[in-house]
Structure 1
Amino acid sequence: MDSEDHAPNSKLLLTDDAGLPGPKTTVKLGFLVKRKQLVNILLLGVGFMFSMGSYNTCAMASTVILSGIHDEYFSGTDTIGYTILCVVYGSTAVSFLMAPSVSAILGPKITMVTGAMFLLCYVTTFLRPLTETLYLGAVAQGIGQGLIWTVYGFMLSTNSSEKTIGRNTGIFWCLLQSSLVSGNLFYFFMLRGVDVLPEGSRIFIFVVLIVSAALGIVVLSLLRHPWTKPKKGNSHDLMAQSTIKSDHQGPLEAITAMMRLLFSRKMMLLLPTYIYVGLDLSFYINVYGTSLGYTGRFGELREALVGLNGVFLGVGQIVGGLLWAALGRFSQKRGRDPALITGMLTHLLAYYLIFLNIPGNATLGHTNDAPYIGSSPSPALAMLCSALLGFGDAAWINQLCALLGTLFKEDCVSAFALFQFIQCATTSFAFFYSAYLTMLPHVIINVVFACVGAAGYCFVEWEAASETIRKSRRPNGIPETKTLLRESRSELPIYTDLYPTKTPILVVHRQQDFDVNPAQLTEFL
């Protein structure tokens, strides 16, 4: 074998008489690839922690901050933050339709870095707020979110295998949600004991957030694809077998595929679930935090509680994400519906406590009204509700994504694009009506869609489980040989030996028919 005719890493491969890599060189190559994959996952998580963390901190406090700015250049209103976030998520919904085509043209890494630059533009507009620049920044933020989240799915899947996808998702989730804790904790200490945010403190806060967003761009620019693209004509090169060829769709093709999938039976049943996830996002990302900042009976704590709300929300999401990741094997065997129902009940409890603890008109502006219980709202109860919202959200998102990945393997791009589009469109609409609704209508709408969405999810989950059991059994009750083959999400073939015969076999990305003794295959697996 002439090493010059192969990709740089192919010199690691020594083949046997059958043309397959030897076990030692395959293990060595696999170790190097896995190491690059883990580094990429860490870079991805840290990059999102800086970039999305700065946006999340900004979004959660934007309504309260802008309402307190009144000078010759800008005069904020009590609900302007809702309107800006409506534009952000409306732009994000449209961006999800365009992002696959942009990624195909620019490549995943450049697309992600470009999206992070758009996120930086949005945070920068808060240094010197102007009506025009705030709305332009909101559009840029929406475009950036669509780009960065579209490529995130590609980067996570190409840097994970079947065995590492759970670990990598958990690492990324914890790094991302830790930004809620750190960013909002910083905001809390800056505003502790301050009733009105001074201009100097506001500028300092957003300078720090701008630096954080810039660091995110730098970290994401360090991402490296774990495989080197080989030269053409190397059919026996393991690198050639691992090269990913991803088809992409234009905006019109993407919309057509999404509309076709939307009117399928399973997707229609999941539609209320998508809508609720969007409503939940608008509620915890801004509406609830704003109501805390507008509740005058919190006293000097009210501004600081906006930041502390994000801290407890992040803690709840981290705990929930770790818990559901640890119970992933149990959910796979027993079903995902118990986890989602737990998330629904957690949210229902949070909504009930919020309704009792927060004045009804606190979502629309500053108020000194008393809550439904007691003469003053309880800060501790308010933070408990924040943690419950985060914990429940982790259950909804984790279980929904797991179900979509299982049900729509053949059309996962359109399925996830449809989910993200409906979620962001719903969030945008929710921010639009948030400028007119008090707390009680918010709670009623969310409770209704939480119950309907959970019912639709459970019905689809039970139906899918029944189909799996039915398809995996022959008439005599013996599982089919195909069901014994494991699917690997890694694009690298895995070489191993069957114990009885010491005959190497190839396990590839997609299930294929092999003339293999089921007893041997069972022992191997």
Structure 2
Amino acid sequence: MGWGVSQGTYLTSIARSHAIDTGLHEGTVIGNFNGEFWAVFALHQFVGNLITLAVLPKGTEGSTGSTTLLFIVFLCSMTLGTILMCFICKTNDKEKVSEDSSVSFCSAVASRLNSVILPLLDMRMLLVIPLIAYSGLQQAFVWASYTKDIVNPTLGEAGVGGAMAVYGAFDAICSLAAGRLTSGLRSITVIVCGGAFFQALILLWLLLKYSATSGVLGVIYPLLMAAFLGIGDGVLNTQLSALLALLFKHDTEGAFAQLKVWQSSAIAVVFFLSPVVTLQTMVEIMVGAISVSLVSFLFLTLKVEKAFSSHQVTNM
């Protein structure tokens, strides 16, 4: 969870610095940076599953040589990422560094706890938490219920890798596109509603009419679902990060801590529930969650827009 908080905080920090240095609109830069980051991040689903399909084409454990090759590829990727981290530049926060170096350990712990607890006293955070939780629910739904109850019965274990590769490809493409289209709160609202629409279509399809079939449609349907679910995930990844960066400029670290806490908690709930509940029940939970999160999110945007408009009128 810690890497997620530091990633979000650092990405927001360098986006703001870049916006100041280049004179570009802050919201646009934050959107672009998040879109590019999450697009590359989502490629692990696409590339990783393609590599697995190539090395273990029949969905089995494979020979010792195949498994070793797979682990070597993953090890090289991890090593490259670790090396690239060494070139990450530091942000200009000299005052904060000197201040932090003089405080005691207990004060530092208290400060961290405050950064987690204080955002919960902000109505804006309380309104965005349902959407954060839903983002975790939909990710876990794909990993647990979708692969187990939809892909595996029709495409078999070998098809899981292919379906998740499609999911990762659309996730990456949509992350990049959504990041490019982000410029502020209004654009975030439109994009989030668009991504939720695609996922709602799949959830309603599963809830009302879907049944496993054979033949060509038996292959197309799970892959189509993977594509639509990937679009929604790409939207939520980029837009939630951009939204928190724009709304909580004075406590970015605390905001991203809330993101990972609620996201991880929702993921854990799905993995605990998936073995003991049916697909139908899980989909009903997802439909309820997406409905509540959208209502809460739209109320948040109206509240923030109203406050922004009132501030403009006061200044005039």
Superposed pair shares fold, TM > 0.5: yes
1:214 corresponds to which of 79, 84, 95: 79
Provide the residue aligned with 1:339 in structure 2.
191
Provide the residue aligned with 2:96 in structure 1.
245
1:176 corresponds to which of 32, 36, 41: 41
Given that residues 152 and 159 in structure 2 are in contact (C-alpha distance below 8 angstroms), is that contact kept between their aligned partners in structure 1? Answer: no
Task: Tell me the alpha carbon deviations over residues 191-215 of structure 1, each in whole angstroms, 9 at most, x when there is no partner.
Answer: 43x2533343444323322332222
Secondary structure (helix, strand or coil) at the match of 1:225 reads coil
Measured in 2, the distance between the counterparts of 1:426 and 1:250 equals 28
Provide the residue aligned with 2:133 in structure 1.
275
Measured in 2, the distance between the counterparts of 1:177 and 1:185 equals 13
Secondary structure (helix, strand or coil) at the match of 2:232 reads helix
1:465 corresponds to which of 305, 308, 312: 305
Task: Tell me the alpha carbon deviations over residues 68-102 of structure 1, each in whole angstroms, 9 at most, x when there is no partner.
Answer: xxxxxxxxxxxxxxxxxxxxxxxx3xxxxxxxxxx
Question: What displacement does 1:375 show?
Answer: 4.9
- From the superposition, tell whether residues 220 and 385 of structure 1 become closer, same or farther in structure 2 (CA, over 3 Å): same
Question: What displacement does 1:410 show?
Answer: 2.1
TM-score between the two structures when normalised by the length of structure 1: 0.51
Provide the residue aligned with 1:99 in structure 2.
none
2:287 corresponds to which of 426, 431, 447: 447
Unaligned runs of 5+ in 2: 101-106
Measured in 2, the distance between the counterparts of 1:346 and 1:203 equals 39
Provide the residue aligned with 2:7 in structure 1.
152
Q: Aligned pair 1:372/2:211, yes or no?
A: yes
Measured in 2, the distance between the counterparts of 1:157 and 1:383 equals 34
Unaligned runs of 5+ in 1: 1-91, 93-145, 228-241, 358-370, 481-525
Measured in 2, the distance between the counterparts of 1:469 and 1:226 equals 33
Q: Aligned pair 1:413/2:253, yes or no?
A: yes
Task: Tell me the alpha carbon deviations over residues 282-340 of structure 1, each in whole angstroms, 9 at most, x when there is no partner.
Answer: 11234323345631x43xxx2332211222112222222232223223xx374532222
Measured in 1, the distance between the counterparts of 2:273 and 2:171 equals 26
Task: Tell me the alpha carbon deviations over residues 26-50 of structure 1, each in whole angstroms, 9 at most, x when there is no partner.
Answer: xxxxxxxxxxxxxxxxxxxxxxxxx
Secondary structure (helix, strand or coil) at the match of 1:336 reads helix
Given that residues 195 and 236 in structure 2 are in contact (C-alpha distance below 8 angstroms), is that contact kept between their aligned partners in structure 1? Answer: yes
Residue 245 of structure 1 aligns to which amino acid in structure 2?
K
Measured in 1, the distance between the counterparts of 2:282 and 2:185 equals 36
Provide the residue aligned with 1:285 in structure 2.
143
Provide the residue aligned with 1:322 in structure 2.
176
- From the superposition, tell whether residues 226 and 274 of structure 1 become closer, same or farther in structure 2 (CA, over 3 Å): closer
Task: Tell me the alpha carbon deviations over residues 247-288 of structure 1, each in whole angstroms, 9 at most, x when there is no partner.
Answer: 767444433443332143332222322221111121123432
Aligned-pair identity in percent equals: 23
Task: Tell me the alpha carbon deviations over residues 236-256 of structure 1, each in whole angstroms, 9 at most, x when there is no partner.
Answer: xxxxxx746257674444334
Q: Which has the higher contact order (CA 8 A, sep 6+)?
A: 2
Given that residues 403 and 461 in structure 1 are in contact (C-alpha distance below 8 angstroms), is that contact kept between their aligned partners in structure 2? Answer: no
Given that residues 191 and 303 in structure 1 are in contact (C-alpha distance below 8 angstroms), is that contact kept between their aligned partners in structure 2? Answer: no
Secondary structure (helix, strand or coil) at the match of 1:294 reads helix
Residue 449 of structure 1 aligns to which amino acid in structure 2?
A
- From the superposition, tell whether residues 268 and 460 of structure 1 become closer, same or farther in structure 2 (CA, over 3 Å): same
Question: What displacement does 1:470 show?
Answer: 0.8
Note the 1:90-489 alignment, pairs <5 A: 92=1, 146=2, 148-160=3-15, 161-162=18-19, 163=24, 164-192=29-57, 194=58, 196-200=60-64, 201-225=66-90, 243=94, 245=96, 250-291=108-149, 294-295=152-153, 297-298=154-155, 302-329=156-183, 332=184, 334-354=186-206, 372=211, 374-375=213-214, 378-474=218-314, 480=316
Residue 372 of structure 1 aligns to which amino acid in structure 2?
S
Measured in 1, the distance between the counterparts of 2:219 and 2:206 equals 11
Secondary structure (helix, strand or coil) at the match of 1:170 reads helix
Secondary structure (helix, strand or coil) at the match of 1:159 reads helix
Question: What displacement does 1:458 show?
Answer: 0.6
Task: Tell me the alpha carbon deviations over residues 342-380 of structure 1, each in whole angstroms, 9 at most, x when there is no partner.
Answer: 1111111122345579xxxxxxxxxxxxx7254567122
Residue 340 of structure 1 aligns to which amino acid in structure 2?
V
Deviates more, 1:311-320 or 1:448-457: 311-320
Given that residues 321 and 398 in structure 1 are in contact (C-alpha distance below 8 angstroms), is that contact kept between their aligned partners in structure 2? Answer: yes
TM-score between the two structures when normalised by the length of structure 2: 0.82
Question: What displacement does 1:401 show?
Answer: 2.5
Secondary structure (helix, strand or coil) at the match of 2:60 reads coil
Tell me how many residue pairs correspond in the alignment: 297
Measured in 2, the distance between the counterparts of 1:250 and 1:289 equals 43
